[in-house]
Structure 1
Amino acid sequence: MTETLPSRSRRALDPDGFRRALAVHAAGVVVITAQSGGVPVGLTATSFSSVSLDPPLVSFYVDRSSTTWPSLRSAGHFAVNVLASDQAELAARFARKNVDRFAEPTRWRPGPLGAPLLQDVSAHLICLPHETVYVGDHILVVGQVAEATVHGPGRPLIYHQGRFGRFIAHPEERA
């Protein structure tokens, strides 16, 4: 469905105001990893989402200017590492540029198809590329989940207002 905004609504959006508005939305944190040409690659993503149960699809967005994306794109599969609340340093490491993300203290092992699986995460999803779509200044990446393993019901790492944090559940209400 395409709608036309009234002319008064089409004025230029303030980029800083837009960023501030988006920052109030909390998001889970994952690290996407792959093996490309025998070299492990990975990046932090806060745009991860489930897409479909049948077929099992998940998605994330990557900035078009990402230097990691070309290597991820050329891989035959990728892993989604769902980070636990105590893994903020790991998330920050995979978000940095010009650092060996897989060097110590990062702990990982090759997965069943070769993609690096990070240690101590809440879950691993092994995905086959399904679709990529260029959307604005990002690329939507959709993967078909071939294998899913939950390692524990731990608390998730959250990204909110430019910082990593922890989820705290509300006490259960009793009737």
Structure 2
Amino acid sequence: MTSTTLHRDSIEPTLFRQLLGCFPTGVAIITTRTADGRPAGLTCNSFSSVSLEPPLVLFSLRKASSLLGTFAEADAFAINILSERQDALSGRFASSKIADKFEGVAWRSGPLGMPIIEDCLASFECSVHARHEAGDHDVFIGEVKHMSGGPADQALVFYKGAYMMLAESLRTLVIQGRLGSADLDQAYRTLYGTLLRLACEQATEGEIDAIEAAVDAIERHQPDDSLAQRIESASRFFSAIAAAGHNEALTLMAQTMTTILRERMTHVIPVRPRPDLFPLRRKVVLCLRRRDADGAAAALDELITKLRTGGDVAAEPGRA
């Protein structure tokens, strides 16, 4: 097994985030009240315990979050830990397009007045113990004042940018032979073709620059670079396309697919770099800059076809 050690000056943010995703986490909705008493909340997977005596927990919030000011002014908050049946709630509270996150959601006020979402695995109502600035996030530490348990369901788990239950379902279908390479390839073409069309409409020049930077990284690889390094670069190319599509639901689907396909890439990525594929990725970028959705989708489709069928590729299990 080959590993690569990166030092501080070479810590690339996208890769850093992807590697952090190797640590599975639960998913929670953090709630509080605005200054005028309205409920507010967001989805979070940075929740962690801190201390048993006194009982302390924490979560971190991006400084860019629209709710940072609300939480900074509040003297209490609640942690609502989600079950795997509450994935829709997770998506709802993560969306920037839903104005009233609580509309149609069953919740009650806790003893401290914080919104407690019904049917969660557990809820902790906390007074604010401390708040610390930490890079591009603020860390909120709360002292648990009240807590309650819910149904004995499985937890909603986030892993490598995807809900584990969906990723595991896909993996099971692959193992059982009910979801073959052709099915996955077709899904990938359809999903990323749609994301490219959305990117042609909505992507900023900076987001297209990020896709081009991923292409640059792929082309810089040397023949003796490890397969793991090249898989990471290929993943970043597709992740940048997903981000440029500006559709949270499709991005989540893309991340979930990639959880499975990163494993398959071991058998699909060429053993050695394929310079003949470089023009196709460049064509994707060029078509994006020209806002040519059909051209971008066609170039990506050809790229996937050639990756799958052409050149010196690693043999899949069961293949000669």
Offset at residue 135 of structure 1 (A): 0.6
Which ranges in structure 1 are unaligned for 5 or more consecutive residues? Answer: 1-7, 169-175
Greater strand proportion: 1
Which residue of the partner structure matches residue 96 of structure 1? 95
Task: Kindly indicate whether residue 134 of structure 2 is the aligned counterpart of residue 135 of structure 1.
Answer: yes
Which ranges in structure 2 are unaligned for 5 or more consecutive residues? Answer: 1-5, 169-320
1:150 alignment partner AA: G
8 A Cα contact 2:131 2:140, kept in partner? yes
Structure-1 separation of matches of 2:151 and 2:33 = 25
8 A Cα contact 1:42 1:72, kept in partner? no
Which residue of the partner structure matches residue 38 of structure 2? 39
Structure-2 separation of matches of 1:150 and 1:164 = 22
Cα RMSD after superposing both structures? 1.8
TM-score, normalised to structure 1's length? Answer: 0.85
Structure-1 separation of matches of 2:159 and 2:106 = 25
2:163 alignment partner AA: F
Q: How many residues align?
A: 160
Offset at residue 80 of structure 1 (A): 0.6
Offset at residue 109 of structure 1 (A): 1.6
1:77 alignment partner AA: A
8 A Cα contact 1:155 1:166, kept in partner? no
Report which of the two structures shows the higher radius of gyration computed on alpha carbons.
Answer: 2
Structure-1 separation of matches of 2:156 and 2:73 = 28
Structure of higher RCO (CA pairs closer than 8 Å, 6+ residues apart): 1
Within-5 A mapping of 1:18-29: 18-29=16-27
Sequence identity (%): 36
Structure-2 separation of matches of 1:94 and 1:146 = 24
Greater helix proportion: 2
Offset at residue 11 of structure 1 (A): 2.7
- Name the CA shift for 1:98/1:10 in 2 (closer, same or farther; >3 Å): closer
Structure-2 separation of matches of 1:14 and 1:143 = 32
Offset at residue 10 of structure 1 (A): 3.8
**Bigger shift: 71-80 or 47-56?**
71-80
TM-score, normalised to structure 2's length? Answer: 0.48
